[in-house]
Amino acid sequence: NAGVTQTPKFQVLKTGQSMTLQCAQDMNHEYMSWYRQDPGMGLRLIHYSVGAGITDQGEVPNGYNVSRSTTEDFPLRLLSAAPSQTSVYFCASSLGLANSYEQYFGPGTRLTVT
């Protein structure tokens, strides 16, 4: 099992560019989510999905789109990057939405927007 994988590990974008951060898991987890981590802050929830075809917004969804066409993949799209989106992005997955389930985190993607 590879667990939760994220690509790329690092990315630099110019303001206004678009890109997709990839996240995949091979544990057959129904629940997947995206967080961002800014200096001096904990992780904040961007979007989450409780299964293929179902997504919902978290605490900081503006500027990001998601879709869930398969159980394994949950990409995060930045349509028009802004310097405020400079952050480290983490993808996580768990068996389900139930609070008891442990969330497994990917290694993160460090994104810089200039």
Partner 1 sequence: AQTVTQSQPEMSVQEAETVTLSCTYDTSESDYYLFWYKQPPSRQMILVIRQEAYKQQNATENRFSVNFQKAAKSFSLKISDSQLGDAAMYFCAYRADGLTFGKGTHLIIQP
Please report whether residue 103 would count as binding partner 1 according to CB under 8 A. yes
Please report whether residue 100 would count as binding partner 1 according to CB under 8 A. yes
Please report whether residue 26 would count as binding partner 1 according to CB under 8 A. no
Place of tokens 């939405």: 97
Sheet containing strand 76-78, strands side by side: 4-7, 19-25, 76-78, 64-66
Binding residues among 35-94 for partner 1 as defined by CB under 8 A: 35, 40-45, 48, 56, 58-59, 88, 90, 92
State the nearest-atom distance from the C-beta of 7 to partner 1, in Å: 15
Contacts with 8 (C-beta within 8 Å, 6 or more apart), sequence order = 21, 22, 109
Neighbours of 14 (CB within 10 A): 8
Applying CB under 8 A, the residues found at the interface with partner 1 are: 33, 35, 40-45, 48, 56, 58-59, 88, 90, 92, 97, 99-100, 102-103, 105, 107-108
